[in-house]
Amino acid sequence: MWAHGALTFHFSERNEPRTKASLQSPFLALILGTLLGIVAAIATMGIWSATVAARVVAIIAFGLLGRTSMTPLRGHITQQQNRERFQKFGMFLVALLACSGAANSQAWFPPDTPPPFNAGSALQLTDGNIMVQESSTSNWWKLTPNNFGLYHSGTWSKLASFPASMNYAPRLFASAVLPDGRVIIEGGEYNNGIKNWTHKGAIYDPVANFWTPVNPPTGWTTIGDAQSVVLPDGTFMLANKCPVPCTGGTIKAKAALLDAANLTWTVLNGTGGYIGKLDENTEEGWTLLPNGDLLTVDTYICEISCYTPNGMNSEIYNPITGVWSSAGSTGVQLWDSQAACGEATKYEVGPAALRPDGTVFATGANGCAGEPAHTAIYDTTTGTWTPGPNIPMGTQGSFNDMADAPAAVLPDGNVLIDSSPGIDKGPSTLFEFNGTGFITIPQPGLGPAVSSESGRMLVTPIGTILFIQAATTNMWFYQTSGTYQSSWQPNICSSCFPATVSVGGTYTVSGTQFNGLTQGAFYGDDYQSATNYPLVRITNDQTQHVFYARTHGFSTMGVATGAEIVSTKFDVLSGTETGPSTMVVAANGIPSNVVDIMVK
């Protein structure tokens, strides 16, 4: 809700609300509803002041009221077609305002109600809620968006904690949302504040609000802050952890595949399923590529002689063959050997984010004083690397890097990054990368001693980025100025969705690109918060209240699936308002085309 003086407007993140119940002309109602949506977008994005936004809408609205008789509904244009046209019109006007000189291109929004706890890692549940760990504890919380789908105006409530019998309170761990909607947490560099690379883990059922302990893979004594990924076929894959320094004389890089039905593991190793890895998994991250392979930048941690101070190798893993192969030189060094200054090797490296254009933006670390950290860009079509721009200096005028740092792909394809003046040093500085260079953006008022290592990012279903400084109550939602290309949207195909649904019922919706073009947010080891799965959002026509269904049974967890028909099941949850409504499928903050449904 936005209130200004005697005027009060209720709005959602959609730009095409309908007010046909109070107006006789559906066409005029559609226009005025769209204008109210524009006010919502303007007020939410901080583009103009509320007063200016209201005046703009008032002027256009009065103009339309005076021309109603001159704008009949022509030919066989349907109300659906009109809504889509005016949705585009609303996006155009917002973009025009953003370029007008009065615009504030990007904006940060703290939550109206700060978290009543020190926040840690966050994951997007498939019912629209966001779950957040209370940092370094066994406790979890839930952020529920308000009636209009806004997260910064949402409410906090407690979820179930890890069972007390587990004695499990991790920090820096593997995490993922599974195709059935459950959440898995594995390992932890710290447990109960002790650095022990724990091999404990648990799986969360959001329907039952219950955690079930998961035994570690056979023979694994450590997991720690390992990387993980959900493969395109829906299987959760977890890396093993070799705490530095690794000893023993042989390479031991392994991974394990979870059977989510019975919570057992299949271990992959150098003789089967995980063949050819150059070095250990330690400190590396996995980026899921459009063809289903995984990309990583090597950190040269080995138990035998693979250590190369100036090494620039990258590798690709094929989940079908179970074999690693070289992806070539990154062209510049991304991992931190501190080779330029002869200091102790840190082995850190930054996240590597797949962008909608099919390139991977890989970021680096450099602990040498006065030396910049590098970036490189991998083209998934040609399989080649190109050096990217160095990470800019931070707000304090020092060279920044991304040794343990988050990144998130924005709806417009830019990448939001957090950077620091050295590992575990603050303050951090955030930038956007637009494909060729960095954009300076407003800063949200970061804690002076907090580094990028504490940064956590999550792409929300409405396209904002939840940014957390772990172990504090600092939390913001970032809104960029750009928008997505229409070719990036999920698409619900005609006759691929139920025209009528009932509260409590389960249904299937099909279409294309339901999993988005990227995993969403990236970190590497320490933390994963991928959102490459479909969410179903229902908006009531009369009240404009927003309701999320609970999605599950995703047909794929791949990214950039193109013209392939994919699907998800969804449960219409209790509390969803009945009556004429619209529905979209959202992935990584980008909504699909709008379809009409009836909720009973």
pLDDT at 37: 52
Given a cut of 50, is residue 445 above it in pLDDT? yes
Q: What's the whole-number mean pLDDT along residues 336-358?
A: 90
Higher pLDDT, 70 or 345: 345
Domain positions in the chain are 1-104, 107-479
In this structure, is the dihedral angle defined by the CA atoms of residues 401, 402, 407 and 409, taken in order, positive or negative? positive
Instruction: At 108, give phi and psi (nearest 5°).
Output: -115, 140
Q: 159-198: buried (b, 16+ CB within 10 Å) or exposed (e) per residue?
A: bebbeeeeebbbbbbbbbbbbbbbbbbbbbbbbeeeeebb
First to last CA, the chain: 27
pLDDT at 9: 32
Domain 107-479 top-level CATH class: mainly beta
% of residues, the chain, pLDDT over 70 = 80
Given a cut of 60, is residue 98 above it in pLDDT? no
| Residue count (the chain) | 600
Give the containing element (helix H, strand E) for 327.
strand 323-329
User: 462-486: per-residue pLDDT in tens?
Assistant: 999 999 999 999 999 999 999 999 9
pLDDT at 262: 97
pLDDT at 539: 98
Residue with tokens 């309701």: 547
- In this predicted structure, which of 61-65, 154-158, 535-539 has the lowest mean pLDDT? 61-65
Given a cut of 70, is residue 1 above it in pLDDT? no
pLDDT at 36: 53
Given a cut of 70, is residue 395 above it in pLDDT? yes
Residue 522: name the closest of 531, 535, 534 by CA: 531
Higher pLDDT, 396 or 124: 124
Given a cut of 60, is residue 218 above it in pLDDT? yes
Give the containing element (helix H, strand E) for 32.
helix 26-45
pLDDT at 461: 98
Give the SS3 label for residue 64.
Answer: helix
User: 64-73: per-residue pLDDT in tens?
Assistant: 433 333 333 3
pLDDT at 226: 95
Q: Are 135 and 471 in contact (CB under 8 A)?
A: yes
User: 551-599: per-residue pLDDT in tens?
Assistant: 999 999 999 999 999 999 999 999 999 999 999 999 999 999 999 999 9
In this structure, is the dihedral angle defined by the CA atoms of residues 80, 81, 86 and 91, taken in order, positive or negative? positive
User: 497-515: per-residue pLDDT in tens?
Assistant: 999 999 999 999 999 999 9
User: 398-431: per-residue pLDDT in tens?
Assistant: 899 999 999 999 999 999 999 999 888 889 999 9
Q: Are 83 and 37 in contact (CB under 8 A)?
A: no
Residue with tokens 């109206």: 112
Q: What's the whole-number mean pLDDT along residues 537-564?
A: 98
Q: What is the mean pLDDT of the chain?
A: 85
The model's confidence at residue 344, banded by pLDDT at 50, 70 and 90, is confident
Query: Global pTM?
Result: 0.85
Close Cβ partners of 152 (under 8 Å, ≥ 6 residues apart): 109, 110, 111, 112, 464, 477
Q: What's the whole-number mean pLDDT along residues 249-274?
A: 90
Alpha-carbon gap, residue 172 to 183, rounded angstroms = 16
